[in-house]
């Protein structure tokens, strides 16, 4: 209605002129960031949405899971992660029951394309809220609000998952690996490499541990993995306090081929020669101090926090 549009414009003008108002459009919550990674063939996509409004993110998780292109969805810290199959789907949208969803996903050589659609408030989330998120390189969006059906298509840089495992950076007198790895990840994060997660992995408490015997895996979505790894290594070598530091990198969508080794290191002391020589060609040993065993073991446990943190003392 014209009256409502005029009132909305007036509100925005008032907020721009007076302190204490709502900056920007009061009916849009912009997602802080959206990134996506895919496997080498482009046959599976993980869409990672950084959210600002928890309620909106959980609402999307509940309803978007019904979309045919969505294989699974999970909440991981400040992100919602959607595992998608490339394709298009006509969504039978119905108020309250299925008001919004992901209706398309596609992968090209250098971009990942995601399409959303919704009705009412779901249309606002599908169109306005995601179109101008951080990380979106371009978009097509419909006018949204009220009871309208609206959608958007966003294009994201095609990225790959890069997992960096680290162990043994401290000494009995100073340091902590979990803090150092996080701070380095924050320092090297840029437009090409987005820092996604940090997981502490409890290992078997071997006699030569510092104290708690944990290793770390940090996760990135990167379009420049070689540059990312180089920068991470340089800072790790600069700040580590130990001569036994290990750093290992898995560049690829799914590190589950390393899970058997990781579980072995959680169960007991493991010799260095048992480290897998290759995991589909995606495993690289960067720093090969004694900590490289724990560094490799951490990789497959990224974001699997419960299993990662469990203490296995024996065969159980």
pLDDT tens sequence across 226-278 = 999 999 999 999 999 999 999 999 999 999 999 999 999 999 889 899 999 76
Tell whether 145 and 172 lie within a shared domain. Answer: no
Q: Is the pLDDT of residue 216 over 60?
A: yes
Q: What is the DSSP string of 237-264?
A: HHH---SS-EEEEEESS--GGGHHHHHH
Tell whether 197 and 62 lie within a shared domain. Answer: no
In a domain, 16, yes or no: no
Tell whether 194 and 59 lie within a shared domain. Answer: no
Pick 45 or 206 by higher pLDDT: 45
Q: Is the pLDDT of residue 3 over 50?
A: no
Of the three residues 157, 188, 219, the one that is the final residue of a domain is: 157
Side-chain-side CA neighbours of residue 68 (13 Å)? 10
38-42, 88-92, 180-184, 271-275, range with the lowest pLDDT: 271-275
In a domain, 15, yes or no: no
Side-chain-side CA neighbours of residue 242 (13 Å)? 27
Tell whether 39 and 144 lie within a shared domain. Answer: yes
DSSP structure class, residue 122: H
Mean pLDDT to the nearest integer, 47-52: 98
Of the three residues 107, 123, 157, the one that is the final residue of a domain is: 157
pLDDT digits (tens, 9 = 90+) for 101-160: 999 999 999 999 999 999 999 999 999 999 999 999 999 999 999 999 999 999 999 999
In a domain, 10, yes or no: no
Pick 157 or 281 by higher pLDDT: 157
CA-to-CA distance for 195 and 182, rounded, in angstroms?
A: 9
Tell whether 145 and 250 lie within a shared domain. Answer: no
- Give the pLDDT of residue 208: 60
Tell whether 153 and 192 lie within a shared domain. Answer: no
- Give the pLDDT of residue 45: 98
In a domain, 1, yes or no: no
Contacts of 81 (CB under 8 A, 6+ apart): 46, 47, 48, 49, 73, 74, 75
Tell whether 65 and 126 lie within a shared domain. Answer: yes
Round the CA-based radius of gyration of the chain to a whole number and report it. Answer: 22
In the β-sheet with 283-288, what is the strand arrangement from edge to edge?
Answer: 193-202, 214-222, 160-167, 246-251, 283-288
Mean pLDDT to the nearest integer, 208-225: 86
Alpha helices in the chain (DSSP H): 2-17, 54-64, 121-124, 130-131, 177-188, 225-239, 259-267, 292-298, 305-309
Tell whether 104 and 167 lie within a shared domain. Answer: no
* Element spanning 21, H or E: none
Of the three residues 104, 131, 157, the one that is the final residue of a domain is: 157
Q: Is the pLDDT of residue 280 over 70?
A: no
Q: Can you give the residue range of the structural domain that contains 122?
A: 31-157
- Give the pLDDT of residue 126: 96
pTM recorded for the entire structure: 0.91
Tell whether 91 and 167 lie within a shared domain. Answer: no
Mean pLDDT to the nearest integer, 165-170: 94
Q: How many folded domains does the chain comprise?
A: 2
107-121, 146-160, 167-181, 184-198, range with the lowest pLDDT: 167-181
């Amino acid at each position: 209605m014209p009256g409502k549009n005029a009132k909305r414009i007036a509100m925005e003008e008032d907020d721009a002129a007076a302190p204490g108002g709502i900056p920007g459009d009061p009916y849009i919550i912009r997602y802080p960031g959206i990134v996506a990674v895919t496997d080498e063939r482009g046959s599976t996509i993980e869409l990672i949405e950084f959210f600002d409004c928890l309620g909106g993110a959980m609402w999307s998780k509940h309803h978007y899971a019904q979309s045919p292109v969505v294989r699974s969805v999970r909440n991981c810290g400040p992100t919602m992660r959607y595992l998608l199959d490339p394709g298009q789907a006509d969504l039978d949208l119905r108020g309250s029951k299925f008001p919004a969803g992901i209706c398309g996903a596609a992968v090209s050589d250098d971009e990942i394309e995601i399409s959303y659609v919704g009705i009412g408030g779901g249309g606002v989330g599908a169109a306005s809220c995601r179109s101008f998120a951080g990380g979106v390189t371009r978009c097509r969006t419909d006018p949204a609000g009220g009871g309208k059906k609206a959608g958007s298509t966003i294009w994201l840089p095609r990225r790959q998952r890069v997992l960096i495992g680290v162990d043994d950076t401290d000494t009995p007198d100073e340091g902590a690996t979990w803090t150092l790895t996080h701070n380095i990840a924050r320092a090297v994060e840029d437009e090409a490499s987005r820092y996604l997660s940090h997981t502490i992995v409890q290992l078997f408490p071997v006699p030569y541990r510092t104290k708690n015997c944990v290793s770390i895996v940090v996760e990135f979505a990167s379009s420049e993995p070689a540059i990312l790894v180089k920068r991470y290594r340089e800072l790790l070598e600069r700040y580590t306090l130990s001569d036994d530091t290990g750093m290992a990198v898995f560049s690829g969508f799914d590190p589950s081929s390393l899970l058997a080794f990781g579980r072995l290191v959680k169960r007991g002391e493991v010799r260095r020669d048992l480290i897998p020589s290759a995991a589909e060609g995606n495993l690289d040993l960067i720093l090969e101090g004694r900590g490289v065993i724990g560094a490799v073991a951490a990789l497959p446990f990224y974001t699997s926090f419960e299993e990662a943190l469990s203490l296995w003392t024996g065969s159980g």
